[in-house]
Amino acid sequence: MKSKYAIIAAIALLVLFPLMVGSDYYRHIFIIALMWVVIGSSWNLLAGYTGQISFGHAIFFGVGAYTAGICTTQLGISAWWGMLLGGPVAMVFGFLMGSICFRLRGSYFNLATLAIAEILRLVAKSWTSFTEGMMGILTIQTFRSKVPYYFLALGLAGLCVFTIYKIMKSKWGFYFVAIREDQDAAEALGISSFRYKTYSLLVSSFFTGLAGAFYMNYMGFIDPDVVFSLYYISIMAILVAILGGAGLIWGPPVGAFIMVLLQELFRSAFFGMAPKWVSNAHAMAFGILVIVVIRYMANGIVGDWPKIHGLWAREKVIPSATSGN
């Protein structure tokens, strides 16, 4: 019950945020964080719930972003059409990727997804006549104010989290978890693991593609090294989910906000309070964060909350046997 109020309060706070805070800088950070909520949650659906750890979510993000960009450069229509097309096009790529990668398990699967993302990055870089190559795609933003983008991102994040929540309450959700826990046992019970993994991947790629299309519209500039980046998209998606708590519905949203804020703290050298070299070290901070999170918070902030809470709560907390919701 208590958590229900907390969620309502958090949503109310997010809706009111752009009305209360006038600074475009803070609005920008929140927009990016909301975008990461979408990507992290979609990664979580495929990896945290279905157990297929993708190292290549940049595929869908990049494809979504390039769909929106190419709408303007090649088709001559508004990049907003990308918001309609980006998701479905990413799903097509998701289907192709699934038909290749779902034959593989464990490390093989991880690496195949990583390799496909790298192939797409290199193709986007060298196919200059279609993607503009290294020059990237530049469009003009529609709105000067951040507020419309903010609510779009909020809507997208809400839709994504809600959809995943609903899926996980349905029959699909139980199938997904069954596949994560033991694929062979799930097969033996008559669950077609290939089909349900593909469903999971399709939903996941759809939302990541939408986030990509949103990024193109919001930032107005993309290039292959940014949107197909291994470290700053694929790995970041994993980190966002793990930091918050993989396999938990509220994990990635919490992880996304903390991750983006932390990155911004380092990038701006603690808002200018720390010496200048701190901002040069923001990539290093990212790496250290990866190590610390995996070493000490393998179940994420939401997953390990009883443990973290226990650090200052006097009474001993007994972790519940059934974690998650």
Partner 1 sequence: MEMFIQMLVAGILIGGVYALIGLGMTLIMGVMRIINLAHGQLMMVAMYITFALFQFFDLDPYFALLVAMPCLFLLGVVIQKYFLNPLLKIDSVIPQNQILMTVGIGIVLTETIRFIFRSDYKSVKTSYSTATFMIGNISWNVPMFVAFGLAVLLTTGLFFFLLKTDTGRSVRATAQNKDAAMILGINAEWITQLTYGLGAAMAAAGGTLLLPIYYLFPDVGGQFTLKAFVITVLGGMGSTVGAIMGGLVLGVAETLGATYISMDLKDAFGMVIFVLVLVFMPGGLKTLTKV
Residue choice 294, 309, 317, 325 for contact with partner 1 (CB under 8 A) = 294
> Nearest distance from residue 126's CB to partner 1, in Å?
4
Examine residue 108 and tell whether it contacts partner 1 (CB under 8 A). Answer: yes
Which residue(s) pair with 221 in the sheet? 138
Q: Is 103 in the site for partner 1 (CB under 8 A)?
A: yes
Element (H, E) at 138: strand 137-138
Cα separation values, 172 from 200, 240, 246, 247, 257, Å: 9, 24, 18, 15, 28
Instruction: Give the binding range for partner 1 (CB under 8 A) out of 15-23, 168-176, 183-191, 278-286.
Output: 278-286
Q: Which of the stretches 10-18, 208-216, 241-249, 314-322 binds partner 1 when contact is defined by CB under 8 A?
A: 241-249
Q: Closer CB to partner 1, residue 60 or residue 109? A: 109
Q: By CB under 8 A, name the one of 9, 288, 313, 317 that touches partner 1.
A: 288
CA distance linking residue 79 with residue 217, whole number of Å: 6
Which single residue is written with the structure tokens 């980190």? Answer: 239
Work out whether 159 is an interface residue with partner 1 (CB under 8 A).
Answer: no
d(CA 48, CA 159): 19
Provide the 10 A C-beta neighbour count for residue 3: 9
The pair of structure tokens assigned to 139 is 């469009």
Of 25 and 95, the one with the shorter C-beta distance to partner 1 is 95
Burial class (CB in 10 A: 0-12, 13-18, 19+), 141: middle
318 binds partner 1 (CB under 8 A): no
- Residue 276 sits in the site that holds partner 1 (CB under 8 A): no
Q: Phi and psi dihedrals of 222, rounded to 5?
A: -135, 150
Q: Does 229 bind partner 1 (CB under 8 A)?
A: no
Task: For residue 191, give the H/E element and its range.
Answer: none
Q: Does 291 bind partner 1 (CB under 8 A)?
A: yes
Q: Which of 22, 76, 106, 190 binds partner 1 (CB under 8 A)?
A: 106
Give 67 or 113: the residue with its C-beta nearer to partner 1.
113
What letters, b where the CB count within 10 A reaches 16 and e where it falls short, cover 251-283? bbbbbbbbbbeebbbbbbbeeeeeeeebbeebe
Among 298, 313, 319, 325, binds partner 1 (CB under 8 A): 298
CA torsion angle for 57, 58, 61, 65 (degrees, to 10)?
A: -170
Site for partner 1 in 117-146 (CB under 8 A): 118-119, 122-123, 125-126
Residue 284 touching partner 1 (CB under 8 A): yes
- What residue ranges bind partner 1 (CB under 8 A)? 47-48, 53, 100, 103-104, 106-108, 110-112, 115-116, 118-119, 122-123, 125-126, 180, 230-231, 235, 238, 242, 246-247, 280-281, 283-284, 286-291, 294-295, 298-299, 303
